Amino acid sequence: MLNALRSRGVDAHPFDPAARGLEEFIVERFDRAFIVLHGRFGEDGPVQGVLEWLGVRYTGSGVLGSALAMDKLRTKLLWQASGLPTPPHELLHADDADLRAVASRLGLPLMVKPVNEGSSLGMSKVRDAGLLDEAYALAVNYDRAVMAEKFIEGTELTIGILGDEPLPIIKLETSRDFYDYQAKYVANDTRYILPCGLPPAREREIQALCLEAFRALDCSGWGRVDLMLDRVGAPFLLEVNTAPGMTDHSLVPMAARAAGMSYEDLCLRILEGAHVG
């Protein structure tokens, strides 16, 4: 991204808050910040809040949108309140009886996931209620809040959002049990199908749903919405990523290319959308 911005004449400089204190950021007097931090403190609102306090324009969602999108439980509660489709879910507790009661109410298989985490870290697909305690133990290593979500059998899709425009839909296929960390970052047999194969009118409907889901969380600027289509084609929203990967082979750049936008132009479009709050 740094090279892409510089190639278009932007006076861009790297700044890693893990290596440099914010006092250095203030001294540099940057005009705006292109946020590419992932996970907690970079993607869930704190950095956005600091930049607002400093009066520095930044890319992506604001404090509220960033915080809500990182919190899978509150994401789903807001979508449900807005009448948007998302898989049934429940918050989990360590008690064995509770785990089995949740499995009975939601049905199997289930996805067990940390509420505040990304990149599919700590997630498990559970087909047997007897394995729920193991899945819970894994997830709670990443976050004290753990949720179960009914697994939707069907087609996984992802939709990039750029400003007020949804990008072309990408269909994801993996030989693994689900699109987990290995499928995202390690496996070389994950398939990204673009065009996604949906009829044009149906693709526009799904894009409109994802844009509505993005806005319902007060997200803005750019991001990515993930969802499933069940076996009869009904959509179920999964989550929003407010700082998606931006390597030249990541999903948002892939969709932008399909829309006729170069990687460099994509970086400039995102930067142009920088705002304060």
pLDDT value at residue 241: 95
pLDDT value at residue 182: 52
Could you please report the per-residue DSSP string of 139-205?
Answer: HHTT-S-EEEEE---EEEEEEEEETTEEPPPEEEE-SSSSS-HHHHHT-S--EEESS----HHHHHH
pLDDT value at residue 5: 97
pLDDT value at residue 183: 45
The answer to whether 213 touches 240, Cβ cutoff 8 Å, is yes
- What string of pLDDT tens digits covers the 277 residues of the chain? 999 999 999 999 999 988 998 888 889 989 999 999 988 888 999 999 999 999 999 999 999 999 999 999 999 999 999 999 999 999 998 776 678 889 899 999 999 999 988 767 889 999 998 899 999 999 999 999 999 999 999 999 999 999 999 999 999 987 656 555 554 555 566 789 999 999 999 999 999 999 999 999 999 999 999 999 999 999 999 999 999 999 877 999 999 999 999 999 999 999 999 998 7
Q: Detail the DSSP E strand segments found in 23-164.
A: 32-33, 57-58, 89-92, 110-114, 124-126, 146-150, 154-162
Q: What is the CA radius of gyration of the chain?
A: 19
pLDDT value at residue 176: 57
Q: For the packed helices 72-81 and 63-70, what is the interaxial angle rounded to 10 degrees?
A: 100
pLDDT value at residue 22: 83
